[in-house]
Amino acid sequence: MYMYIGIDDTDSKDGMCTTYISSVIIDKLKDFGFNIVGYPRLIRLNPFARYKTRGNGALSFKLNVESEDDIQKVKEIVLKNVEKLSQLDDERTNPGVVFYYGEITDELKSYSLKVIRNIITIDDAQKFAAKIGADIFKFKKGRGIIGALAGIGCPNTDKTYELLAYRIPENYGKKRKINHESVFEMNKNTYPQTFDNVDGDNKYIAIEPHTPCPILYGIRGESPEAVLNAHNMVKVCEPIEKVAVFETNQHTDMHLLKIEKIADMEKFKCYIKEGTVKTPPQTYEGGHVIFILNDSSGEIPCAAYEPTKEFRDIVRKLAPGDKLRVYGGIGEKGTLNIEKIEILELSKVYKTQNPICECGKRMKSAGSGKGFKCIKCGLKLREGIKDKIEIERDLKTGFYEVPPSARRHLSKPLVRIE
Ligand code: ATP
């Protein structure tokens, strides 16, 4: 029989990482003869969940168990280590562990999709766990049970892999020693089987986190072989404690809902929506670029915030009347934060100029409401109107996306879109 284990909310901004704790637990289980089946799963949940530490990730894995004794032993090992390794002193860390023995039913998959696309309460998770007969274990407030259960039930229709290399504890918080040249070389050799390795037109490496967590680097790709192969090409000048490969829902767009009407959009949800650009994009203090998108039901401000860097140059070129398909989520400020856009149709943009006189010279204004006059031949045109001239658009239809450094974990990069 399969026994599923879900773990979430063990870390804090000051350190640790649920992936690392899970890897330690998986090693301990192995010591007792329990080998996990397949890869452990790193499941990303709603990016707007209020209590997330960073990337709102939950962990799950499954084992074959044969007896009640096996189940008790596994539970004991998992719970002992979650308690030992979690950042329980941090007020915001509220670990939750879920054990589940049945099939991954449609109902369980829908629960997971709900946690990926909506906001739910601890009580909702607890009631659902009771309904399906899952055992929950709450440390402190136990908020982690929300994600732990979602981690178990997440559908794996589309998936990617991430290899995480962990540092030795003595190095936590210290500057990471990764040979950047080797990362550029690895990217050249493995892209697009691996992706989001480098950023800023190959100026920065994107595999390195900037937090005091145990991760030295993470390589994302299409298969376990691809990420392992890439890992073997990366050179580092510090010890690696261990390496683990996770199956994930990262970069699948699983968080996005197709929605008919802008008027039905809600805060803290992520959408795919077609609409028309209503206002010219404006750049605000801090470098954020915002325009209004509308449809027949309403309108929504769409934002390319400063961290989206060069993507903002594309957004600035949009004009009223352009038809778009926008992918993104509505945050605290009520703007739809753009992850990518598909420009479906470009509107015609015009400039106006004074008319040309019969003599060939461009005319001048004769004053407000007085038409035009020619300074060369003296001709006056009282009823004259300005010429409308179409401007060539410096933009093409098609997809545009934010750079890897600004990419949400769940957002599907264009290289993965067939
Ligand atoms: P890290 O990525 O560093 O592991 P994190 O960003 O995943 O950390 P957690 O410490 O796991 O953050 O905290 C997220 C908390 O939010 C968890 O308790 C999780 O159960 C809960 N949570 C996740 N998704 C939702 C949701 N859709 N609605 C309500 N709560 C959620």
Asked if residue 63 has pLDDT above 80, the reply is yes
pLDDT at 7: 98
* Residue 98 DSSP one-character state: E
Q: Tell me the CA–centroid distance for residue 274 and ligand 1, in Å.
A: 30
CA distance 293 to 325: 10
pLDDT number for residue 345? 98
Q: Of the candidates 28, 29, 6, which has an alpha carbon nearest to the alpha carbon of residue 18?
A: 6
Atom of ligand 1 nearest to the CA of 46: 27
C-alpha 371, offset from chain centre: 55
Percentage of the residues of the chain whose pLDDT score is greater than 70: 100
- Report the run of H or E that residue 225 belongs to, with start and end: helix 224-231
- Beta carbons of 338 and 303 less than 8 angstroms apart: yes
Q: Which residues pair with 365 in a beta bridge?
A: 372
Ligand 1: centre distance to CA 349 (Å): 45
Element (H, E) at 165: strand 160-167
Could you report the per-residue pLDDT of 345-394, keeping only the tens digit for each?
Answer: 999 999 999 999 999 999 999 998 899 999 999 999 988 889 999 999 99
Give the per-residue pLDDT at 384: 84
In the chain, where the domains are located: 2-153, 160-248, 256-346+394-416, 349-391
Instruction: Kindly tell me if the per-residue pLDDT of 201 is higher than 80.
Output: no
Q: Comparing 160-248 with 256-346+394-416, is the CATH topology the same?
A: no
What's the one-letter identity of residue 49? A
| 386: phi then psi, degrees, rounded to nearest 5 | -70, 150
φ, ψ of residue 15 in degrees (nearest 5): 165, 180
CA of 391 relative to ligand 1 center, distance in Å: 48
**Could you read off the pLDDT of 255-270 as tens digits, one per residue?**
999 999 999 999 999 9
What confidence tens digit (pLDDT) does each residue in 275-304 have?
999 999 999 999 999 999 999 999 999 999
* Cα 51 to ligand 1 centroid, rounded to whole Å: 6
Instruction: Assign 336 a pLDDT band (cuts: 50, 70, 90).
Output: very high
* Residue from 7, 23, 45, 246 whose mutation best tests the ligand 1 pocket (most atoms within 8 A of CB): 45
Q: Report the length, in residues, of the chain.
A: 418
Q: What is the pLDDT of residue 5?
A: 98
CB-ligand 1 contact for 126 (6 Å cutoff): no
CB 312 within 8 A of CB 259: no
The whole-model pTM stands at 0.94
So what's the pLDDT on residue 97? 98
Give residue 100's pLDDT: 98
What does the pLDDT look like over 170-187, one tens digit per residue? 999 999 999 999 999 999
CATH of 256-346+394-416, one of 3.40.50.1360, 2.40.50.1010, 2.60.40.10, 3.60.15.10: 2.40.50.1010
Q: Tens of pLDDT along 72-130?
A: 999 999 999 999 999 988 899 999 999 999 899 999 999 999 999 999 999 999 999 99
* Mean pLDDT, rounded, of the chain: 96
Tokens of 286: 């801090």
Residue 305: which of 216, 408, 213 has the closest Cα? 408
Q: Is the pLDDT of residue 202 over 80?
A: no
Alpha carbon distances (Å) from 340 to 196, 285, 327, 397, 409? 15, 22, 5, 13, 13
- For residue 401, give the amino acid letter: E
Is the distance from CB of 234 to CB of 174 less than 8 angstroms?
no
Residue 11 — very low, low, confident or very high, per pLDDT cuts 50/70/90? confident
Instruction: Give the residue, by CA position, lying nearest to ligand 1 atom 7.
Output: 56
Q: What is the pLDDT of residue 400?
A: 98
Is 2-153 a domain of CATH 1.10.3720.10? no
Beta strand 323-330 with 298-304: parallel, antiparallel or unpaired? unpaired
Query: Residue 187: CB within 6 Å of ligand 1?
Result: no
> Is residue 200 scored above 80 in pLDDT?
no
State the pLDDT at residue 51.
87
The CATH number of domain 160-248, selected from 2.70.150.10, 3.90.180.10, 1.10.3720.10, 3.90.600.20 = 3.90.600.20
Tell me if residue 326 falls in helix, strand or coil. strand
- Per residue in 148-173, pLDDT (tens digit) is 999 999 999 999 999 999 999 999 99
DSSP strand pairing (380-381 vs 204-205): unpaired
Tell me the two tokens of residue 360.
Answer: 């060939």
